[in-house]
Structure 1
């Protein structure tokens, strides 16, 4: 009886330490991301693309980062969250796909993405010697496409591929179906 009570107290203490370790704002954003992910995979899966983009663009920018990580997690891919949202050096998280870690950069754009953002992320991936996923809600212009073509380190996920990621539909990263 005493051992059972002690084990319960240890489990309770461990849960409290874990809960207190994640700041309230992080918990709120993760909860928002989980809710949106469940909706986009379930009842809202067949909504028009324009409506889904409007909903995603209306999200808190940091919750959008969490939504992307949650989408990969729901597919069974291990993710790594940053310990804080600011000062992350341009990396919004990491995902392991087929045994290879990918850096993630998330941007909520209303219009075309800025080529300098893509270039900065490509340079960051080169410095770290890791591939990267530049995930955004805007349009990919020709200058940004040429950066991606020249850089084997990064891949852009937007448009239909972003919708597939969020809804749980299959799509391809590199040569692998995800």
Structure 2
């Protein structure tokens, strides 16, 4: 990717890193604040400054020193994001510095992208493997071309500790020029992107720019339209209290709005296995998920009868079953910030701000409602 396109990617990615109310300043070259936003930490909202570095080599202590200097007097927290990693002295400085600096490295970026299926597609040759989605990254190059009158750059090499462009002056982007892609809009609104695409197709939602490539359309939206779109579509605001988070989760878990049986099955499997910390190993979740489908087949009430992997649950590989869970029922809980999935550790966890509020009787009620939803689903499709 070009340097400018990488900055567009970074601005889009920050939404998935937990920031809201993002404003991307996009300074070119070293130093300064690349973006600012609000870090959502449970019930707390922290103003935070961000710097993003496309490095091959590890970030060094002087990089953190310069960032701390840029933060001072403006932010009490900073987030440093790099495609590489950090030297021990850089991490030590980030930990003890005032303002404090959070760090995100390349492996963590990849983990977040895999969690939210950014830049990957199912391989056409093997349904159990993922391929890099080149069109996802090309969409940021196309985004750059939308503003060719404002953004003038040469091709930049991918190096560490050197300016990527000859000109290191800031480029002011008006709100209408700071765009995010449709999936990121969905994450910000806590709405399934597939639902947003349907609204785009039927004219309910109009993108600010559309580009075609290889038969695929890229839809872009102004970042400052997020809240107006939320109001226009009558979508729920992000809960502002722990009690509100819990109630929204319980309402969502109890809903009988089902196109497949996956959601209640995953909820039942999760809460049968959950430990004291609100965690379940994904491999254990896969086994219990399969066991529930097998049970219903054995009692003569199969949950799925057509167009689903789960018609024959014993014939589905563990890997394919894991992908189904992650991309369908779990994704909806991730979008709504009800659950977290650490792919590297193989752990699915209910969001800590929810887990600390749930009482035992409410967990039992979720299990009972999951059973009720499955009975309803079977009777509806009989």
**Does structure 2 conserve the Cα–Cα contact (< 8 Å) formed by 1:72 and 1:165?**
no
Deviations 1:77-112 (A, max 9, x none): 221122x63499611111212222211101011111
SS in 2 for 1:133: strand
**Aligned residues of 1:79 and 1:96 also touching (Cα < 8 A):** yes
SS of 1:154's partner is strand
TM-score, with structure 1 as normaliser? 0.53
Highest relative contact order (Cα 8 Å, sep 6+), 1 or 2? 1
The change in CA–CA distance for 1:131 and 1:76 in structure 2 (over 3 A counts) is: closer
Verify the 8 A CA contact 2:49 2:77 in the aligned structure 1: yes
Q: CA deviation at 1:127?
A: 2.6
- Please give the secondary structure, in 2, of the residue aligned with 1:77: strand
Pairing 1:104–2:47 present: no
Provide the residue aligned with 2:91 in structure 1.
145
Q: Are residues 77 and 167 of structure 1, via their aligned partners in 2, closer, same or farther at CA, if it must alter by over 3 Å?
A: farther
Alignment match, 1:129: 75
Matched residue count: 115
Q: Structure 1's 79 and 88: CA in aligned 2 closer, same or farther, altered over 3 A?
A: farther
Q: Kindly indicate whether the alpha-carbon contact (under 8 Å) linking 1:164 and 1:171 is maintained by their aligned counterparts in 2.
A: no
Structure 1 gaps of 5+ residues are 1-58
Report the TM-score when normalising by structure 2: 0.27
| Structure 1 residues 2-35: Cα deviation after superposition (integer angstroms, max 9, x where no partner) | xxxxxxxxxxxxxxxxxxxxxxxxxxxxxxxxxx
Q: Is the 8 A contact 2:19 2:38 kept in 1?
A: no
RMSD: 3.0
* Cα pair 1:138 1:158 within 8 Å, conserved: yes
Measured after TM superposition, the shift of residue 67 of structure 1 is 1.3
Identify the structure with the greater helix proportion. 1
Matched residue of 2:37: which SS?
strand
Matches within 5 A, 1:12-27: none
Partner of residue 65, structure 1 = 7
Q: How far has the Cα of 1:140 moved from its partner?
A: 0.9
Deviation at 1:125, TM superposition (A): 1.7
- Computing the radius of gyration from Cα coordinates, the structure with the larger value is 2
1:68–1:166 CA contact under 8 A, matched in 2: no
Structure 2 residue ranges without an equivalent (≥5): 117-339, 343-350, 353-382
SS of match in other structure, 1:163? helix
